[in-house]
């Protein structure tokens, strides 16, 4: 018996990356699509509050800021050139107020979306610790039932 046979006796079911990434982009759990992936602005929930899927295995690291900078820089850079070409008599104070504000707004909008999509991508490809997580059935017990 080889190592590969002992390590993965049964192949894990494949997960579709694009649907998972779309859910992650919306901030939803890639497994069930109902629970929130974040517990705060950029903090990923340890487990999905709806289905209990473990999400703490992600290693997003520097990738979400990298993709955010890549996209925002191209949008803002192109917009700055476009506005300057259309109206080169625009006061400098307008540029000083407009471009940093738009840049920050886009960064705060896109950074959690890219991070959610990246965590979902890692989940779909069973990267890092996601490959060892056994599939879980959604819990049928509701928290308010336990209190009664």
Indicate the residue among 1 and 135 with the shorter CB distance to Zn ion: 135
Phi-psi domain of 146 (left: phi exceeds 0; alpha: psi -120 through 50; beta: other): alpha
CB of 70 to Zn ion, least distance (A): 29
CB of 17 to Zn ion, least distance (A): 17
Q: Enumerate residues 6+ apart whose C-beta is below 8 A from 50.
A: 29, 32, 34, 35, 138
Q: What are residue 36's DSSP bridge partners? A: 28
Give the separation between CA 126 and CA 134, rounded to whole angstroms.
11
| 56, two tokens | 């703490």
Indicate the residue among 68 and 122 with the shorter CB distance to Zn ion: 122
Nearest Cα to 111, choosing from 65, 146, 76? 65
Indicate the residue among 28 and 72 with the shorter CB distance to Zn ion: 28
CB of 145 to Zn ion, least distance (A): 19
Indicate the residue among 21 and 48 with the shorter CB distance to Zn ion: 48
CB of 20 to Zn ion, least distance (A): 11
Indicate the residue among 8 and 43 with the shorter CB distance to Zn ion: 43
CB of 147 to Zn ion, least distance (A): 23
> Quick count: other Cβ atoms within 10 Å of Cβ 119?
29
Q: Which residues bind Zn ion (CB under 5 A)?
A: 29, 31-32, 35, 48, 50-51, 53
């Amino acid at each position: 018996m080889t190592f590969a046979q002992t390590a993965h006796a049964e192949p894990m079911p494949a997960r579709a990356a694009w649907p998972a990434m779309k859910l992650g982009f919306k901030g939803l759990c890639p497994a069930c699509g109902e629970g929130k992936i974040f517990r705060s602005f950029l903090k990923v929930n340890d487990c999905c509050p709806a289905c209990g899927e473990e999400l703490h295995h992600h290693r997003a690291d520097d990738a979400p800021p990298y993709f955010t900078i890549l996209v925002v820089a191209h949008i803002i850079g192109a917009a700055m050139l476009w506005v300057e070409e259309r109206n080169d008599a625009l006061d400098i104070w307008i540029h000083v107020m407009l471009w940093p504000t738009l840049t920050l707004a886009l960064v705060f909008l896109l950074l959690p979306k890219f991070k959610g999509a990246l965590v979902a991508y890692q989940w779909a490809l069973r990267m890092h610790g996601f490959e060892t997580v056994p599939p879980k059935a959604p819990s049928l017990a509701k928290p308010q039932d336990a209190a009664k």
